Amino acid sequence: MESLYLLSVLLLMLAVGAVGCLLHWMVGRIQRRMEKRALPPTEAGADTEYSLRLKRLLIAWGAKGAQTLIWVLYFVLLLRMLPHTRTQFGTVSEQLWFTFTQFIDWLADRGVITIVVIAVTIFLMRFASALIKASFELVERRALSAGVERVRRRSQTLSGIARGTAQAAIFFIGFMVLLQQLGVSITPILASAGIVGIAIGFGAQSLVKDIFAGFMVLLEDQYGVGDVIKVSETAGTVERLTLRATWVRGLDGALTTIPNGTINQVSNFSREWLRVVLDVEVAYDEDLDRAMRVMLETARQMKEDMPLDILEEPAMLGVDKMTSDSMILRLAVKTAPARQPEIGRDLRRRIKLAFDREGIKAPPGRQIVLAAPPREREAAAVEQLAGLSQAKTEERR
């Protein structure tokens, strides 16, 4: 009789185990489908990508929890059906039932207030996030209508920072209220948080300075990714910008990391317009009016060839300096952002070719007199005297 009971229990547990395996597989399949839906789009911003990663992490945790719960229930059922553990399980079940009744009593006493606090905290977090996101989306629409792509990227970054800060503050306040409702004293927690904050403030002053400086860079839109800037002796294209540091790729390919807190002065070559100021030396015996006319006509012809790169009519500023052997003519050309170096090189090449066609000469090269050392001068004087004496001897003969 007992063998038949054990056989029936074994068959039942096998059947329940098969059902558990099926449920485990179904939970994994649902998890994969939800993760595919939460895949970040190809052109998503950093904030959108981070939120989708958080969603995928929560999906994975929920799936693992569901699978763990399935097998916990399976083993509980196994212990409940086996005759050797049924009596012990009965005592465990009684203890669980007592704990459950205590939880119901607590829920009737303070549970309502706790649920209200949790619900209000979640609502305020979502409301603050939606409000900040809507405000920055309004700025993005105005920026996109004006064709400013960099403003859209900046507003997305600032939106993510503002939403994260607001949600963290609301969560902390709600968590403290919840602990107080649960009967936990929050005074030691607040004191510990204050001490930890002071310690972090003293130990990470440079980090806090970098983060604050990076926030001001983003807020004031001093520069962005893709801009050509110069910081101290470092010049190049901004490849990455965070709250802590700026990554600049130089012309030689070197990637320089600059902490934002160390940036005191920055030159941006990608804003609105730049200007090529070209100084050309000509000789004194050349016709200045003709040289200036050739330079100006060359610059105007270049503007016709490159109307998008040269924004205004070139301006001949005239004679800028007069040196001992040349006159310096100055020409100014207003160019598009980040196009100054290419325009300047091409303009110099064209002016050189135009001067060659018109026969306009550069100033003659300077003659450099090198004084010989004293010993060499004495040897040269001895050789000169020897030559003179030999010449006189020949004349006498």
- DSSP letters, 194-222, are HHHHHHHHHHTHHHHHHHHHHHHHHHHT-
What was the pLDDT predicted at 264? 86
Nearest to 184 by CA among 196, 192, 176: 176
pLDDT digits (tens, 9 = 90+) for 33-68: 887 776 655 444 444 555 666 677 778 878 888 888
Tokens of 352: 């050189």
Lowest mean pLDDT among 96-100, 105-109, 165-169: 96-100
**In the block, residue with structure tokens 């977090």:** 125
For every residue of 347-397, DSSP letters joined together read HHHHHHHHHHHHTPPPPPPPP-PPPPPHHHHHHHHHHHHHHHHHHHHHHH-
Number of other CB atoms surrounding residue 298 within 10 Å: 20
Res 106: pLDDT? 65
Q: pLDDT band at 340, cuts 50/70/90?
A: confident
Average pLDDT over the chain reads 76
pLDDT digits 0-9 by tens, 254-294:
889 999 888 888 888 887 888 889 999 888 888 888 999 99
Number of CB atoms found within 10 A of residue 99's CB: 10
Q: Nearest Cα to 261, choosing from 230, 215, 322?
A: 215
Is the pLDDT score of 117 beyond 60? Answer: yes
pLDDT tens digits, 202-255:
767 788 888 888 888 877 778 877 888 888 888 888 888 887 888 899 888 888
Q: Kindly state the tokens that stand for 265.
A: 């002065």
pLDDT in tens, 348-371: 999 999 998 988 887 876 555 545
List of residues 6+ apart from 291 with CB closer than 8 A = 280, 282, 329, 355, 360
- pLDDT of 68 reads 85
CB 170 within 8 A of CB 120: no
Mean pLDDT of 111-123: 77
Please tell me the predicted confidence (pLDDT) of residue 46. 46
Taking alpha carbons only, the member of 296, 229, 283 closest to residue 256 is 229
* pLDDT at 144 > cutoff 70: no
Please list, in sequence order, all residues whose beta carbon lies within 8 angstroms of the beta carbon of residue 200, skipping any fewer than 6 positions away. none
The pLDDT value given to residue 393: 59
Burial 167-186 (b: 16+ CB within 10 A, else e): beebeeebebbbeebeeeee
The burial class, CB within 10 Å (0-12 / 13-18 / 19+), for 43 is: exposed
The answer, yes or no, to whether residue 382 has pLDDT greater than 60, is: no
**At residue 116, what are phi and psi to the nearest 5 degrees?**
-65, -40
User: What is the DSSP code string of 147-168?
Assistant: T-HHHHHHHHHHHHHHHHHHHH
What does pTM read for this prediction?
0.51
Q: Are 222 and 231 in contact (CB under 8 A)?
A: no
| pLDDT given at position 47 | 46
CB atoms inside a 10 Å sphere around CB 76: 14
Give the SS3 label for residue 83: helix
One-letter amino acid of 267: S
Q: How much is the average pLDDT of 147-166?
A: 68
CA dist., res. 46 & res. 128, Å (int): 19
Task: Say what percent of the chain tops pLDDT 90.
Answer: 7
> How much of the chain exceeds pLDDT 70, in percent?
70
Q: What is the pLDDT of residue 232?
A: 83
The predicted structure's pLDDT at residue 309: 87
In this predicted structure, what is the pLDDT of residue 41? 52
Q: CB of 343 within 8 A of CB of 309?
A: yes
Q: Give pLDDT tens digits for 297-336.
A: 999 999 998 888 888 899 998 898 888 888 899 999 998 8
What is residue 140's predicted lDDT score, i.e. its pLDDT?
64
Helix-helix angle 149-181:46-81, to 10 degrees: 40
| pLDDT score at 384 | 63
pLDDT at 172 over 60: yes
Sign of CA dihedral 291, 294, 300, 303: negative
- Could you tell me the end-to-end alpha-carbon distance of the chain, in angstroms, rounded to an integer? 157
Beta-carbon neighbour count of residue 157 at 10 Å? 23
User: Which top CATH class is 274-358?
Assistant: alpha beta
CA distance 30 to 152: 35
Q: What are phi and psi of 277, to 5 degrees?
A: -110, 110
Question: For residue 54, which of 160, 198, 193, 188 has the smallest C-alpha distance?
Answer: 160
Decide which of 265 and 133 is more confident.
265
- Other Cβ atoms closer than 10 A to 260: 21
Architecture in CATH for domain 204-268: Roll (2.30)
Can you tell me the distance from the alpha carbon of 217 to that of 225, in angstroms, rounded to the nearest whole number?
12
